[in-house]
A and B are shown apart, each in its own frame.
Chain A
Amino acid sequence: MSGEIVKSLVVPAHPHPVLCPEKNEGWQRIRDAYDEARRQIEETDADLIIVYSTLWPSIIGHQIQADPNPEWVMVDADFHDLGSIPYSLQIDTEFAHAWNAANKARGLESRTVAYHGFPIDVGSVVALELLNPGNRIPAVICSTNVYSNRAETTVLAKACMDVVKAQGKKAVAVSVMSLSNRMFTEPIEPHEDRIHSLKDDEWNRKILEFLSEGRLEDIGQLSRTIHDQIRVKKVVAFKPMWWLSAMNDNRNDLTGEVLAYEAIHGAGAAVVVLDPESNGTGDKEYDEDDVEFYGGDRNVLDVEEGDDHGVALHDPTTGDTSFNTDKAPKPVGAYPHARKEGNLLYLSGVGPRQPGDNSIPGGPIRDSDGNSLEYDIKAQTRAVIENVSRILEEAGSSLDKVIDVTSFLVDMDRDFAGYNEVWAETLGKVGPTRTTLAIRALPTPIAVELKVIARA
Chain B
Amino acid sequence: MAKGSIVAGCLAPHPPHLVYADNPPQNEPESEGGWEQLRWGYDRLRESLSKVDYDVIVILSPHWQTYVGTHFIGLPHCTSKSVDPIFPNLFRFDYDIEIDVDLARAIHDQAKSDGMSVKMMENPDFRVDYGTIVSCHMLRPEWDKPIVSISSNRGMHYYSPEVMQEMMLELGRATSKAIEASGKRCLLVASNSLSHRHFTTETNPPEDMSKEHITSHAMHLWDMRMIELMRAGKSQQILDEMPEFCEQAISEADGGAFSWILSAMGIPEEPAILHGYGTIIGTGNAVIEWPCHEWGDD
Q: Which residue of A lies closest to B123 (CB)?
A: A80
Interface residues of B in 64-123 (CB under 8 A from A): 64-69, 71, 81-83, 85-89, 92, 117, 119, 121-123
Tell me the bound Cα distance from A76 to B154 in angstroms: 15
A26 within 8 Å of B (CB atoms): no
Tell me the bound Cα distance from A187 to B65 in angstroms: 16
Whether the Cβ atoms of B121 and A80 lie closer than 8 Å is: yes
A428 within 8 Å of B (CB atoms): no
Whether the Cβ atoms of A75 and B127 lie closer than 8 Å is: yes
Residues of B within 8 A of A443 (CB): none
A73 within 8 Å of B (CB atoms): yes
A1 within 8 Å of B (CB atoms): no
- Select one of A83, A147, A234 contacting B200, CB under 8 A: A147
B125 within 8 Å of A (CB atoms): yes
Residues of A within 8 A of B68 (CB): 78-79, 183-187, 265
Whether the Cβ atoms of A78 and B88 lie closer than 8 Å is: no
Whether the Cβ atoms of B64 and A77 lie closer than 8 Å is: yes
Residues of A within 8 A of B158 (CB): 182, 185, 232
Residues of B within 8 A of A73 (CB): 125
Comparing A40-48, A111-119, A165-173, A372-380, the segment that makes contact with chain B is A111-119
Tell me the bound Cα distance from A115 to B158 in angstroms: 33
Q: Which residue of A lies closest to B206 (CB)?
A: A60
Interface residues of B in 149-192 (CB under 8 A from A): 151, 153-155, 157-158
B282 within 8 Å of A (CB atoms): yes
Tell me the bound Cα distance from A113 to B83 in angstroms: 11
A233 within 8 Å of B (CB atoms): yes
Tell me the bound Cα distance from A79 to B69 in angstroms: 11
Bitwise, B198-223 to A at CB < 8 A (1) or not (0) is 11111100000001000100000000
A299 within 8 Å of B (CB atoms): yes
A298 within 8 Å of B (CB atoms): yes
- Select one of B92, B202, B203 contacting A115, CB under 8 A: B92
Residues of A within 8 A of B40 (CB): none
Whether the Cβ atoms of A299 and B125 lie closer than 8 Å is: no
Residues of A within 8 A of B157 (CB): 232-234
Tell me the bound Cα distance from A143 to B155 in angstroms: 24
Whether the Cβ atoms of B154 and A234 lie closer than 8 Å is: yes
Interface centre among B83, B92, B155 (most CB of A within 10 A): B83
How many residue pairs link A and B with beta carbons under 8 A? The number is: 112
Residues of B within 8 A of A262 (CB): none
Whether the Cβ atoms of B83 and A300 lie closer than 8 Å is: no
A198 within 8 Å of B (CB atoms): no
Interface of A, secondary structure class, is loop
Whether the Cβ atoms of B200 and A298 lie closer than 8 Å is: yes
Bitwise, A116-148 to B at CB < 8 A (1) or not (0) is 111101000000000000000000000101010
Whether the Cβ atoms of B122 and A61 lie closer than 8 Å is: no
Tell me the bound Cα distance from A187 to B92 in angstroms: 33
Tell me the bound Cα distance from A234 to B153 in angstroms: 12
Whether the Cβ atoms of B119 and A56 lie closer than 8 Å is: no
Bitwise, A253-283 to B at CB < 8 A (1) or not (0) is 0000000000001000000000000000000
- Select one of A58, A121, A183, A301 contacting B201, CB under 8 A: A301
B295 within 8 Å of A (CB atoms): no
Whether the Cβ atoms of A187 and B86 lie closer than 8 Å is: no
Q: Which residue of A lies closest to B281 (CB)?
A: A59
Q: Which residue of A lies closest to B85 (CB)?
A: A119
Tell me the bound Cα distance from A58 to B198 in angstroms: 11
Asked if A61 meets B201 with Cβ closer than 8 Å, knowing A77-B151, A78-B68, A233-B157, the reply is yes
Residues of A within 8 A of B71 (CB): 77-78, 80
Q: Which residue of A lies closest to B212 (CB)?
A: A301
Q: How many residues of B contact A (CB 8 A)?
A: 40
Interface centre among B68, B88, B119, B202 (most CB of A within 10 A): B68
A81 within 8 Å of B (CB atoms): yes
Residues of A within 8 A of B121 (CB): 80-81
Interface residues of A in 145-192 (CB under 8 A from B): 145, 147, 182-187
- Select one of B151, B198, B211 contacting A59, CB under 8 A: B198
Whether the Cβ atoms of B125 and A185 lie closer than 8 Å is: no
Tell me the bound Cα distance from A333 to B245 in angstroms: 49
Whether the Cβ atoms of A118 and B123 lie closer than 8 Å is: no
Residues of A within 8 A of B64 (CB): 77
Tell me the bound Cα distance from A396 to B127 in angstroms: 65
Interface residues of A in 60-95 (CB under 8 A from B): 60-61, 73, 75, 77-81, 83-84
Residues of A within 8 A of B282 (CB): 300
Interface residues of B in 119-147 (CB under 8 A from A): 119, 121-123, 125-127
Residues of B within 8 A of A116 (CB): 81, 83, 92
Q: Which residue of B lies closest to A184 (CB)?
A: B68
Residues of A within 8 A of B119 (CB): 81, 187
A57 within 8 Å of B (CB atoms): yes
Residues of B within 8 A of A425 (CB): none
Interface centre among A56, A60, A77, A121 (most CB of B within 10 A): A77
Whether the Cβ atoms of A301 and B199 lie closer than 8 Å is: yes
Whether the Cβ atoms of B198 and A121 lie closer than 8 Å is: no
Whether the Cβ atoms of B83 and A301 lie closer than 8 Å is: no
CB distance from B159 to the nearest CB of A (A): 9
CB distance from A320 to the nearest CB of B (A): 41
Residues of A within 8 A of B82 (CB): 117
CB distance from B253 to the nearest CB of A (A): 15
Whether the Cβ atoms of A77 and B66 lie closer than 8 Å is: yes
Residues of B within 8 A of A75 (CB): 123, 125-127
Tell me the bound Cα distance from A59 to B68 in angstroms: 25
Whether the Cβ atoms of B67 and A118 lie closer than 8 Å is: no
Whether the Cβ atoms of A60 and B85 lie closer than 8 Å is: no
Residues of B within 8 A of A119 (CB): 83, 85, 127
Tell me the bound Cα distance from A117 to B215 in angstroms: 31
CB distance from B165 to the nearest CB of A (A): 16
Asked if A121 meets B85 with Cβ closer than 8 Å, knowing A115-B92, A232-B158, the reply is yes
Whether the Cβ atoms of B69 and A300 lie closer than 8 Å is: no
A201 within 8 Å of B (CB atoms): no
Whether the Cβ atoms of A145 and B200 lie closer than 8 Å is: yes
- Between A and B, 22 residue pairs with Cβ closer than 8 Å are A57-B85, A60-B200, A61-B201, A77-B64, A80-B121, A81-B121, A109-B200, A115-B88, A115-B92, A119-B127, A121-B85, A143-B85, A147-B198, A182-B158, A185-B68, A186-B68, A187-B119, A233-B157, A265-B68, A300-B199, A300-B200, A300-B282
- 6 smallest CB-CB distances across A and B, nearest first, come from A84-B125, A80-B123, A117-B81, A73-B125, A75-B126, A117-B83
Q: B interface vs A, CB < 8 Å?
A: 64-69, 71, 81-83, 85-89, 92, 117, 119, 121-123, 125-127, 151, 153-155, 157-158, 198-203, 211, 215, 281-282
Q: A60-B202, A118-B83 are in contact. List 7 more A-B contacts (CB 8 A).
A: A56-B85, A58-B85, A59-B200, A61-B200, A78-B66, A147-B198, A300-B282
